[in-house]
Amino acid sequence: MSDSIIFTVQPGGSLNGEIRVPGDKSISHRSIILGSIAEGTTHVTGFLEAEDALATLKAFRAMGVEIEGPDDGKVTIYGVGLKGLKAPEGPLYLGNSGTSMRLLSGLLAGQSFNSDLTGDDSLSKRPMRRVTLPLAQMSAQIQTEEDGTAPLSITGTSELTGIHYDMPIASAQVKSCLLLAGLYAEGETTITEPAPTRDHTERMLQGCGYPIERKGNQVSITSGHRLQAVNIDVPSDISSAAFFLVGASIATNSSVRLNHVGINETRTGIIDILKLMGADITLTNEREVGGEWVADIHVKSSQLKGIVIPEQLVPLAIDEFPVLFVAAACAEGVTVLTGAEELRVKESDRIQVMADGLQQLQVNAEATPDGMIIRGGDIEGGEVISHGDHRIAMAFAIAGLRSKAPIVIRDCENVNTSFPQFLSLASELGLNIAQNKP
C-alpha cells in the first residue's frame, strides 16, 4: 500500500455551481488508438490528460506514431495506417490502465513485430485470460504469467483468423480487443454480448469510415478496409460526473450543473439507477457531437430511497458502483445489488473494499458474492483505505457530504489515473477536502 497521498474530508456541506468535468476516458483511449492506425491527421479536443489515457498515448509514440500534445485537451495524431506501426524498442508500460492493456493486446496480435505489455502492481493482478483465450482462438500467440495475468508477451502474426465469439461476461474491453484484432484477421469476426456494453469502439470505427455490422446483441467486422482520420471532440466523462451526481443528490441545499457530459445509452446506468432511487436529475441541451450524444445535466438535493437495482442496468453503470454504494448508504431503506461479480476484478475488489470502508464508517453494508446489501442510515467519520483504486478514493470523499465527522482516505495517488482535477473541481463546488502527503 502506498500512503503517498491522503485525502481528508470535513463533514457536511453542500455542492453548488456549474462545471465541466474532464474528457471521457474510454473515448480518449480510443481516439489515440484509432487515430494512430487511421490514414491522415486526427485532431482531438477534450482529451483526458490523466495517467491512463497518457499511457496509451505514450505506447503509440513508442511504436513510431507522431503525436503532438496534449495541450489543454488538444492532441494531433499523424496516423500511420493499419500496417504502419513499428516495433517498440522495449516493453510498453501501461501503468494502471486495464483498457490500454486489453485493447492493445488485440491490436498488437496482428502486427508484423513482437511486443511486451507491462503494468503496475495493480494491473499485473487483473485477469487477462478473458482477452488472451479468444485471441488464441484467432491464432494469436500471447504468453501470460501462469495465473493468466500480465506481463503479456505477444508474438505478432499475419495469420489471424476471424471467429464467432460468445462473450461469457459483458465487457466492452473484451469486445473492443476482438474488434481491433478483427481489423487484421482473415474473414469475419463476430462478437455476441450477453448484455449491452459501451459501444464507443464501434461508433468510432464507423466514424472513421470502417464498416461495422451491428445486429441486436452482435457486432461483426471484416478486415480489408481502411480507417480515415477524423476530428474527435471528446465529451465529458459520465463516470467522473457520477461523483457529483451522487454528491448533489445526497447533500442538503445542493444544485449542480454538469456541462457537455456524454450520455451514450450504453453508459447512462448511473442516471437510470439514481432516478429509480428518487434523484432530481434533468438533462437539457441534448445534442450529437461526433457520433456521441452529450447533454448538460442538472442535479438537485433529494431524499433517495433504497431499491433493488435491476440487473440489466449493471453493465451500464459498472464503473460507477463505488459512488452508488455511497448513495445507497444515504438512502431510506435497503438497496440490493446483484449480478455484479465483475466489480471484484477491477482496480481492486470493489465489492469487498467498499463494504469494508462503509463498515468502518458504521454503515450497515454486507458484501455478497455478486453485489452488496446496504441499509441506509447515518455515516460516521473514520479512516478508510482505497487500496490504490481511484474510484474508491473519490467515492469516500463524496461520503463526507453526509458524514458526522471527518473521513480520512488513504492511498489516493491513483485518482490521477482518471480524474486529476477531482480535488479542484470538488472544492470549487463546495466539498471541504484537503490533500496531504505523510
Q: Are 139 and 161 in contact (CB under 8 A)?
A: yes
DSSP state of 234: P
The SS3 assignment for 110 reads: coil
DSSP state of 140: -
CA 136, CA 139: separation in Å to the nearest integer? 5
User: Which CA distances in Å does 272 have to 85, 278, 295, 317?
Assistant: 41, 10, 15, 9
Cell 441506509 -> residue: 376
Enter the C-alpha cell of residue 33. 488508438
The DSSP annotation for 33-61 comes to HHHHHSEEEEEEES---SHHHHHHHHHHH
Chain-centre distance for alpha carbon 106: 18
Q: Which of 307, 287, 306 is nearest to 295 (CA)?
A: 287
Strands (E), 369-430: 371-375, 382-385, 407-410
Which residue(s) pair with 292 in the sheet? Answer: 289
Q: Are 252 and 11 in contact (CB under 8 A)?
A: no
Cell 453508459 -> residue: 267
Q: Are 110 and 139 in contact (CB under 8 A)?
A: no
Helix H segments across 77-199?
A: 98-109, 129-137, 172-182
User: Which CA distances in Å does 325 have to 156, 239, 309, 347, 434?
Assistant: 43, 14, 11, 17, 23
Q: Would residue 319 show up in a list of annotated catalytic residues for this protein?
A: yes
The SS3 assignment for 433 reads: strand
Q: How many CA atoms lie within 13 A of 50 on its CB side?
A: 28
Cβ neighbour number for residue 416 with a 10 Å cutoff: 19
Catalytic residue among 120, 233, 296, 319: 319
Q: Are 149 and 199 in contact (CB under 8 A)?
A: no
User: Which CA distances in Å does 176 have to 127, 166, 203?
Assistant: 16, 14, 11
The SS3 assignment for 113 reads: coil
Catalytic residue positions?
A: 319
